[in-house]
Amino acid sequence: MNSDSEHSATTIKKLPTGIPGFDHIASGGLPKGRTTLVSGTAGSAKTVMAAQFLAEGILQFDEAGIFITFEESASDLRRNFKSFGWDIEGWEKAGKWTFVDASPDPDMDTIVVGEYDLGGLMAQVGHAIESAGATRLSMDSLGAVFNQFTESANIRREMFRVAAYLKSRGITALLTAERVHEYGDIARYGVEEFVADNVIILRNVLDGEKRRRTMEILKFRGTGHQKGEYPFTIVDGEGLAFMPLSAMELTQPSSDKRVSSGSSDLDEMCGGGFFRDSITLISGATGTGKTLMATEFLAGGVDRGERCLLFAFEESQDQFTRNARGWGIDVDAMEAKGLLKVVCSYPERTGIEDHLLEMRRLLLEFRPDRVAVDSLSALERVSPTKAFRQFVISLTSAIKEQGTAGMYTAATPDLFGGSSVTESHVSTITDSIILLRYVETEGEMHRGITVLKMRGSPHDKSVREFVIDGDGMHIGQPFENVVGIISGQPQYRVEPQRD
């Protein structure tokens, strides 16, 4: 009979927070009309997330919010959040942001003597809901509530009442709570989990000598979300930015349209060029010609009037321009045409999460037809393994989302043969792999190139010799009578074997 109302009671809608990347991971946003607990250790950016939930609501959706602060005073928060570009004072005047300042008052001695309720708090919240039409609420933090009201049975009951009240008013709320350890009890007081059906954990852990921030949605009762830990970073002037890494994004529609690699010889080896929305990995030892291949790939695009973007982590702009000139490629002219953009960055300059954000931003801004990253190994050097792998997945999906043709380079640590760690992290993600190798024959050093993998296309399986001169790369004949080049242990056959 009441199937309709029952249905609506069990179907929980989502409220988009507007926090970059979060809503994707949360399959649409926070459970609407519910309270979500955000738990984390000291310094895990709980308060920033609580404030950003309101700030993005105002900026993107024109939704008014209430911020209840039990810890820092309202005036401290107004000042602190200016660095994110949030004009809280202006929003307060416009009736979009209401502070309920419940921070400890240093001038007031308060003694708790007996039974009480949080009627004052609820009256203030109720007033803000009525007068401002607020639909979002953040409370920071539960730990501070418990510090102010030490009689724990009483305050527990009252927190349940507050949560029930917010639910009855249809408020989507975000509640922060402290936890002692990064992995372990959700929060310190053991009550918070019952207050909220929905729990998010923010972590700030040391991983390979780097600080790494992650977010995990532990539960959203009755509604979906992505599982696992997702990295995030705090961006100056913006706030938190989360990085969705869902595997779904990697299954992009595949195009069978080919683009030239920039070298007709290589196009031939690849069975007619690279696929439009594919990523090609160039792996080889130092000096084998990886940067040259990336440069020719981009120059080939510019020749066809395509927009090309290079992320260079190995060289400065001047070095790159000079080297390219040595191969007969005029970088300045391509940049002057507005078709080539070279972004040189020092890998150690910032964390890998921030590199990723910057790269995603440039991809969106420049909208390239081709993009090359030279090299991934330089970035791998400066990041923990897990973070690097997530970086590659996320960058790859960002490139593929736009149907851009991509090329990554990776350096192998050994001069002969071998594979790089980078390669093993990247090889399953990239569509094509091309190996560049040094080959020593009869006392001379040669360069060899082979197409190891070319997803969805036949390709040349031989190892061909190539030379680099003032005109760039020239691919020649397959090496005769040499086996074991790829493994780095060439053996020379004196005479051709008979079949």
Partner 1 sequence: MTDEIVELVLYVTGDSGRARRAIDSLQSLCDRQLPAGSHFRVVDVVAEPELARKARILATPTLQKLSPGPPRRIVGDIASMDGVLSALDLEPK
Q: Which of 86, 145, 136, 80 minimizes the C-alpha distance to 112?
A: 145
Please report whether residue 153 would count as binding partner 1 according to CB under 8 A. no
Task: Decide if residue 25 touches partner 1 (CB under 8 A).
Answer: no
Catalytic-labelled residue, pool 71, 178, 353, 465: 71
Nearer to partner 1, 105 or 348 (CB): 105
What is the Rg, in whole angstroms, of the alpha carbon atoms belonging to the chain? 29
Q: Is 126 in the site for partner 1 (CB under 8 A)?
A: yes
Distance of CA 200 to the CA centre of its chain: 18
Among positions 64, 121, 282, 378, the unique one binding partner 1 when judged by CB under 8 A: 121
Measuring CA to CA, which residue among 88, 92, 1 is closest to residue 48?
88
Q: Are 191 and 159 in contact (CB under 8 A)?
A: yes
280, two tokens:
């090609």
Nearest to 437 by CA among 375, 487, 474: 487
- Cα diameter, the chain: 100
Residue range at the interface with partner 1 (CB under 8 A); choices 31-39, 110-118, 198-206, 491-499: 110-118
Closer residue to partner 1 (CB): 1 or 113:
113
| Residue 444 neighbours by CB distance under 10 Å | 7
Q: Does 109 bind partner 1 (CB under 8 A)?
A: yes
For the CB of residue 156, give the shortest distance to partner 1 in the complex, in Å: 14
85 counts as binding partner 1 under rule CB under 8 A: no
What lies within 8 Å, CB to CB, of 16 at 6+ separation is: 23, 28, 29, 60, 61
Stretch that binds partner 1, among 6-14, 84-92, 108-116, 405-413 (CB under 8 A): 108-116
Q: What's the rounded Cα separation, in Å, for the pair 235 and 238?
A: 5
CA angle 348, 354, 359 (to 5 degrees): 100
On the 0-12 / 13-18 / 19+ scale of CB atoms within 10 A, 253 is exposed
Residue 133 is a binding residue for partner 1 (CB under 8 A): no
**Closest distance between partner 1 and the C-beta of residue 77, in Å?**
15
- Does residue 106 belong to the site contacting partner 1 (CB under 8 A)? no
If binding is defined by CB under 8 A, does position 484 make contact with partner 1?
no
Q: Out of 111, 153, 247, 494, which residue is the one contacting partner 1 (CB under 8 A)?
A: 111
Residue 110 binds to partner 1 (criterion: CB under 8 A): yes
What tokens were used for 401?
């989302």
Q: Is 107 in the site for partner 1 (CB under 8 A)?
A: yes
Known catalytic residue at 314: yes
Return the residue matching tokens 């992290």: 425
Q: Which of 158, 178, 306, 314 is catalytic?
A: 314
Based on CB atoms, which residue is closest to partner 1, 64 or 371? 64
Span near partner 1 by CB under 8 A; candidates 102-110, 231-239, 375-383, 431-439: 102-110
Residue 403 touches partner 1, criterion: CB under 8 A = no
Kindly determine how many residues on this chain lie close enough to bind partner 1 according to the rule CB under 8 A: 26
Specify which residues 345 forms β-bridges with: none
- Give 114 or 496: the residue with its C-beta nearer to partner 1: 114
* Concatenated DSSP letters of 243-275: ----GGGG-PPPP--EE--S-HHHHHHTTSSEE
> In the complex with partner 1, which residue's Cβ is closer, 117 or 469?
117
Residues 289-328: x/- map of binding to partner 1 (CB under 8 A)? ----------------------------------------
* Residue number, 50 or 299, with CB nearest to partner 1: 50
Q: Which residues have CB under 8 Å from 107's CB, separation 6+?
A: none
From the list 117-125, 254-262, 296-304, 436-444, the region that binds partner 1 by CB under 8 A is: 117-125
Q: For the window 43-82, what string marks contact with partner 1 as x by the rule CB under 8 A?
A: ----------------------------------------
The only residue of 119, 133, 170, 228 in contact with partner 1, by rule CB under 8 A: 119
Residue 246 sits at the vertex; the CA angle it makes with 427 and 209, to the nearest 5 degrees, is 70
For partner 1, the closer CB: 73 or 254:
73
Instruction: Select from 143, 149, 152 the least CA-distant residue to 69.
Output: 143
Provide, rounded to whole angstroms, the least separation between the CB of residue 162 and partner 1.
Answer: 10
Residue 180 in the binding site for partner 1 (CB under 8 A): no
**Does residue 114 bind partner 1 (CB under 8 A)?**
yes
Q: Long-range contacts made by residues 382-386, C-beta under 8 angstroms, separation at least 24?
A: 382/210, 382/347, 382/348, 382/352, 383/208, 383/210, 383/351, 383/352, 384/207, 384/208, 384/210, 384/212, 385/208, 385/421, 385/425, 386/207
Task: Name the residue nearer to partner 1 (CB basis): 139 or 202.
Answer: 139
- In the list 19, 37, 55, 102, the residue contacting partner 1 (rule: CB under 8 A) is 102
Instruction: Name the site residues for partner 1 (rule: CB under 8 A).
Output: 100-102, 105, 107-124, 126-127, 148-149
Catalytic site positions: 71, 314
